[in-house]
Structure 1
Amino acid sequence: MTDVMTSYGARAGTAAELWRNAGTDRPPYQSPGWYHAAGWTHRKHLLDAVDSKGRHAVLPVWRADPDGHYYHHPATLLMGHREGPFTDGPAQELVRAAAALRRPALLTTSPYGYRGGALHGTGAGRADSGTLRDLARAFLAHARATGTQLALSHYLFDEDDGAWLEALGELPGALPVVLGADAVLDIHWDSLREYRRWLGPSRRSVCPRPRDDGAQWHVYEASAPDGQERQEGPDGPDGGLPGQAARLLHGHATRFDPEHPPPQRLFDALVWGQGLRRTLFTVAESARVRSTLVVLHRGDVLYAKFFGTVKPRTDYFPLVYSQLIDYAIRHGFRRIEYGGGSHRAKLLRGARLRPALGVLWAADAGHHAALRPLVSRVTDRKLAHFAALARRWQVQDVPLDRRYERVAHPPAPAVARPYPASSPTTGTTPVSSEADHGLL
């Protein structure tokens, strides 16, 4: 018997403690520290399912409007201006689907972090599949109780969220959907030289070393939960190179989504490591940051999140690939999660491509009927698109995702509407114009 709660008393301890304990193996984007840095602490609601042995499964949820950040709401994820090649269909069908999507949605994805699975502990304390099924039902019950017509759990991956995907798939009216793809580089080399040898002569040049142009390359570590381990630059504790990096990162993110960018406070927390373990890379010229990369840690995985630069052709590839891969090897990390977007560039450098999955639900039967053909079409086309990319650009030694193997004869990749030349992106991360612009 599983007890499902949406509030916390003495038996469950504080919400923050339960959240942290259940999510020790989850991406940092789903941590209380990330939600706090993003200013989402008071927008989220915690759902909790606990079994008779006291094992918890926890799910932070929040309500989003359709006119918000591009990668949050199903209206833009399915029918946004970048999704045209995957959405196009009969006009009347699209009109009905668009109308069904123009309403608030209950989401599980982390704000600006793009991960949305259930948090259900590790080892002996890991909640079982029955508890996850109860949590999935609580997710829909909360949507109904709050009058929210749509519910979406997305940015899920087979290898990390298989049990949660199975629980969601059992819900009545569940609409499984593929919304994008995520690039992951598995680290299995003892040195950067070995990695470059593994790439082979035809790809070795795509991971250039930093130019010897007199720039200073800095690495800032923060491992204390409260971000106390700070390194100060020439401008003092409130500025310096990290302070400049925060402003540069925010400026690039704002150009990508000028109407709904992540808040400056998120970048401030990231560069200072406040509540989040991270590594900050900067490239400085005359004591001014010209490029920067912030990477989060969780266990033996690195999460390359934001990049900003005024010299993309000079610094992007040496910093985001050569320097970061060398850092991962030297510090014993087993994986770098590069996220969505710029898929071709990441595949060329040894990453594998895995589909980003979701499950959509509509309370109204008419809305469900209107969305079903759209969801099916988008899923089929995106799987074909990403399967074609993986087959064309993935290193031969890297295994193809099992979902792509089911796509027998993928067509040529769809061409997405390009982002503005002044702000090419990877997810919310600006990149060189060489990169293939992604759709996640």
Structure 2
Amino acid sequence: MFVDKAKIFVKGGDGGDGLVAFRRELYVPEGGPAGGDGGNGGHVIFRVDEGLRTLMDFRYQKHFKATRGEKGRNKSQHGANAEHMVVRVPPGTIVMDDDTGELVADLTRHGQEVIVAKGGRGGRGNIRFKSSVNTAPAIAENGEEGQERWVTLELKVMADVGLVGFPSVGKSTLLSVVSAAQPKIGAYHFTTITPNLGVVDLGDERSFVMADLPGLIEGAHTGIGLGHEFLRHVERTRVIVHVVDMSGMEGRDPFEDWVKINDELRLYNAKLADRPQIVAANKMDMPESEENLAVFKEKVGETRPDIVIMPISSLTKQGVKEMLYRVADLLDSLPELSEQEENEQTAKAEEGVVYRYEPSGDIEFTISRDNEVFVIESEGIEKLMRRTQFNSYEAVMRFGRILRGLGIDDALRKRGAKDGNTIRIGKFEFEFFEGGTDDYLYEDE
């Protein structure tokens, strides 16, 4: 089964906690702080593996969590950083943040990597808090939580040649004739509901990958029918082979079919209108096909004289070999992906990566009231709280000093906070003291 869309959960590893420890050695009665830093948590990294062709593996495993960093140790030893979790994805994978719809990465080249969930930093041990006024600090930090998110993966088929056309024009039959692919074939609409890939070997040391893409209908560019599920795959192909049924079966006009498909491609992505295209005039073994072909060539020549039209029959294999050689020649004449385009794609992917919020400068906050409780909302302060070890008296005092330095005490007084009022920050509640001392009381809800 071909799977080209998946939704998964990724989480970077938490950072290891810092340690409060002191040197306790013979003949060193006052050795000072010796608690090491915690190690950094591992990232979740997506790496392109050209050996993969589908997102099938993500149907069975939907959660990817990197390991956390080791805790700090005594004797000033830092905890080890966790190893990164590398998740292999096929080339052509687009990674989107499921909550915001933001592009995280567009992965196209073998070996290309992107961090989709960043690991948390390790907490600092008490050796980091030693100063001239506090030579024996009993303060350490918790490790930072790793980034977590749901992401949506979409696979755009990486093929040299894409077969496009209305349903039942013979695309699947053509692919089965020219390659070892065995797509499902039937005389009904939407036989192909997922792309099929086949390698075409011409026997002259030339080969290319051909994709039989799902059939189009009018309005596909707006998502009608298979819509975008089909069109996103066309964007990856270097050459479009437009298969047109020249027999005119079911009362269809070959030229009108050709115009409608091209309109859908252009409306979805204007660049597809300039993509090199060869028309495979199929079913030439049927009655009236020759007459329809003559009319078709005349009409196409009036609008697009550059379009190459190759009469073929997938059933009898008439003209198929000649058409394949023409496609190979066209591919040979096209430039490979330029270095500039690769750099643009890489930059686009890197710009799309969203890491955890890192407060810098002044931390912003808002104060509101929930009945008699004053509620402080601030992402920066909540992050600071997660890193504070509240079982340490010195750590609580330090946290209180930071809040006062941010101006929170003054802001609370302006909002009417009095001695003994309850202050809530995240899941913690504190008791406010009008005197402005360091005696903050706290309790976990």
Per the shorter chain, which TM-score range?
under 0.3
Between Structure 1 and Structure 2, the one with more helix by share is 1
| Higher-RCO chain (CA-CA 8 Å, sequence separation at least 6) | 1
Q: Give the structure with higher Rg (CA).
A: 2
Q: TM-score, normalised by structure 2?
A: 0.22
